[in-house]
Structure 1
Amino acid sequence: MQPKPQIGNLPVYQPGKPIEEVKRELGLDQVIKLASNENPYGSSPAVKEAIQAELSNLSLYPDGSAVELTKALARHTGVQENQVIFGCGSDEIIALIARAFLLPGDENIMADQTFSVYKSNADIEGALSVEVPLVDGVHDLNAMLSHVNDRTKIIWVCNPNNPTGTIVSAEELTLFLDRVPGHVMVVLDEAYFEYVTDSSYPNSIPLLSRYSNLVVLRTFSKIYGIASLRVGYGIAQPEVIRLINQVREPFNTSRIGQAAAIAALSDQAFVKECRANNAAGIEYLQKEFKRLGLAAFPAHGNFILVDAGRPSKEVFQSLLQKGVIVRAGFEKYPTYIRVTVGSQSQNEIFISVLEQVLGLEKAQVQP
């Protein structure tokens, strides 16, 4: 059988190593995973109650239109119900956008080190990806604009950017959107939106009424702590949502996922607490990196990209041997590792193990 020619060399997405696999492979009893930007505090107690209540309905199909979840999210975000679409994680929404709007030969623009799913889905559709270098880890919006032409269909902006953790400010974003031609869709991926505490960060939802070509993506996988249930969403103008819905598979979110997401939305106190804990974790880790003489990007999500000063895959393996899972292998940052901000105890273990791996403990006691 012959596949599409454009997918012959398409890399398979590599998620963070599972804890169980590392324990089995290395014979370890204790492993901490700081690789996939999961919430170390789990999910709201209300989520667990909602899941329990749904267990008697496992034989029933989910609501294919996610009506109750749509109502809850529309109330929460202040948009109309016909402006919302749900997916099996926000990465499915990315795939649906590519399926709905990209043709072979079209162009789409993204940063040269960002969430890899943008490019992989464009590749599947036979579109050309224009990758624009980051500047100090931040999207170069002016340079991205300079690449727009008649063939450009989509510009992807990950904010905060994964893996660098940097943000585009509200002022920068609106100046950019003012200059993007109306035929070009701007997809603003805000998977880490709820973690950001910087006052310059944009409030993007009100921008949807001003820019009809804007799509905002968010997820329940990060701060809401239900990554295993795969619920993400997009918000845009009704006509855009209708077109994306036309290529969506039925029943793409589960009954349990929908119920859990509704419950998660209802507990904003949990979100607030996780945001505060995450900010404290960032402060601790950045202070420790400075103490160790390690450069790190400013962090606005729930992860930090830090320069280990040596090939990152070697550092990854050394940390793995000691039961700490991080992410490495970023093409534009070959000596950097990305570490999820964990609980305080997890952060302390990571720093201790990192010191050992990098040989920094001995270096500090030398006169």
Structure 2
Amino acid sequence: MQPKPQIGNLPVYQPGKPIEEVKRELGLDQVIKLASNENPYGSSPAVKEAIQAELSQLSLYPDGSAVELTRALARHTGVQDNQIIFGCGSDEIIALITRAFLVPGDENIMADQTFSVYKSNADIEGAVSVEVPLVDGTHDLSAMLSHVNTKTKIVWICNPNNPTGTIVSEKELTAFLDRVPGHVMVVLDEAYYEYVTDSSYPNSIHLLSQYSNLVVLRTFSKIYGIASLRVGYGMGQPEVIRLINQVREPFNTSRIGQAAAVAALDDQDFVHECRTKNTAGIAYLQNEFKRLGLASFPAHGNFILVDVGRPSREVFELLLQQGIIIRAGFAKYPTYIRVTVGSQTQNETFISTLEQVLRLEKAQL
């Protein structure tokens, strides 16, 4: 069988190593996973109650239109019901956007070190990906704008950017949006939106009413702590959301996922508590990196990209042997590792282990 020619060399997405696999491979009893930017505090107790209540309905299909969740999210965000689409994680919304809008030969623009799913989905549709270098780990919106032409269909902006953790401000974003032609969709990926505390961060919901070509992506996988249930969403103008919905598969979010997301939205005290702890965790890790003489990018999500001064995969393997899973292998940052901000205990264990690993590597040089 012959696949599409454009997927012949398409890399398979590599998620963070599972805890169970590391325990089995290395014979470890305790493993800390700081690789996938999951919430170390889990999810709201209300989520668990909602899941329990849905268990008696497992034989029934979910609501294909996610009506209750749509209404809850519309109330929470202030957008209209017809401005929302749900997916199996925001990853699926990305795939649906490329399916709906890209044809072979179209161009889409992204940073040269950002969430890899933009490019992989564009590749599947035969589109050309224009990758623009980051500047100090941040999207260079002026340079991205200079690459916009009549073939450009989509510009992807990951804010905060994964893996660098940097943000573009509302002032920078609106100046960019003011100059982007109307035929170009701007997708603002805000998977880590709820973690950001910087006052310059864009109020993207407000911007939706000003820019008809803007689509905003968010997820329940991060601060809401229900990554395993795969619920993400997109928001935009009704006509744009309708077009994306036309290529969406039916029943793409589960009954349990929808119920859990409604309950998660309802518990904003839990979100606030997680944000506060995350902010403290960032400060602790950054201070420790400074003590160890390691440079890191400003962190606005729940992860930090830090330069360990040697090949990151070597450090990954040494940390893995000690039961610490982090992320490495970023092409533009070969000596950097990305670490999720964990609980205070997890953070302290990571720093202690990292210090031992770096000391061991230095002794071997």
1:38 aligns with 2:38: yes
* Maintained 8 Å contact 1:219/1:233: yes
* Maintained 8 Å contact 1:217/1:233: yes
* Maintained 8 Å contact 1:69/1:259: yes
- Name the counterpart of 1:13: 13
SS in 2 for 1:274: helix
* Maintained 8 Å contact 1:355/1:361: no
Aligned counterparts of 2:297 and 2:257: Cα–Cα separation in 1: 34
Amino acid at match of 2:155: I
- Name the counterpart of 2:246: 246
- Name the counterpart of 1:162: 162
SS in 1 for 2:156: strand
SS in 1 for 2:178: helix
Aligned counterparts of 1:274 and 1:190: Cα–Cα separation in 2: 17
Shift of 1:38: 0.1
Aligned counterparts of 2:318 and 2:247: Cα–Cα separation in 1: 44
Aligned counterparts of 1:234 and 1:167: Cα–Cα separation in 2: 19
Shift of 1:362: 8.9
Q: TM-score, normalised by structure 2?
A: 0.99
- Name the counterpart of 1:356: 356
Shift of 1:45: 0.2
Amino acid at match of 2:348: E
1:239-294 residue CA offsets vs partner (Å, 9 max, x unmatched): 00000000000000000000000000000000000000000000000000000000
1:256 aligns with 2:256: yes
SS in 2 for 1:179: coil
* Percent of residue pairs bearing the same amino acid type: 88
Aligned counterparts of 1:7 and 1:360: Cα–Cα separation in 2: 41
- Name the counterpart of 2:330: 330
- Name the counterpart of 1:220: 220
Aligned counterparts of 2:80 and 2:18: Cα–Cα separation in 1: 39
- Name the counterpart of 2:281: 281
* Maintained 8 Å contact 1:137/1:164: yes
Aligned counterparts of 1:253 and 1:58: Cα–Cα separation in 2: 13
Amino acid at match of 1:288: E
Amino acid at match of 2:336: Y
- Name the counterpart of 2:319: 319
- Name the counterpart of 2:268: 268
Structure 1 residue ranges, 4+ long, deviating more than 2 angstroms after superposition: 360-363
Amino acid at match of 2:171: E
Amino acid at match of 2:85: I
Q: TM-score, normalised by structure 1?
A: 0.98
Shift of 1:342: 0.1
Shift of 1:361: 11
Aligned counterparts of 1:146 and 1:126: Cα–Cα separation in 2: 22
1:175 aligns with 2:169: no
Aligned counterparts of 2:101 and 2:362: Cα–Cα separation in 1: 56
Aligned counterparts of 1:250 and 1:308: Cα–Cα separation in 2: 45
Unaligned runs of 5+ in 1: none
1:98-146 residue CA offsets vs partner (Å, 9 max, x unmatched): 0000000000000000000000000000000000000000000000000
Shift of 1:360: 7.4
- Name the counterpart of 1:129: 129
1:26-48 residue CA offsets vs partner (Å, 9 max, x unmatched): 00000000000000000000000
Amino acid at match of 2:321: Q
* Maintained 8 Å contact 1:33/1:326: yes
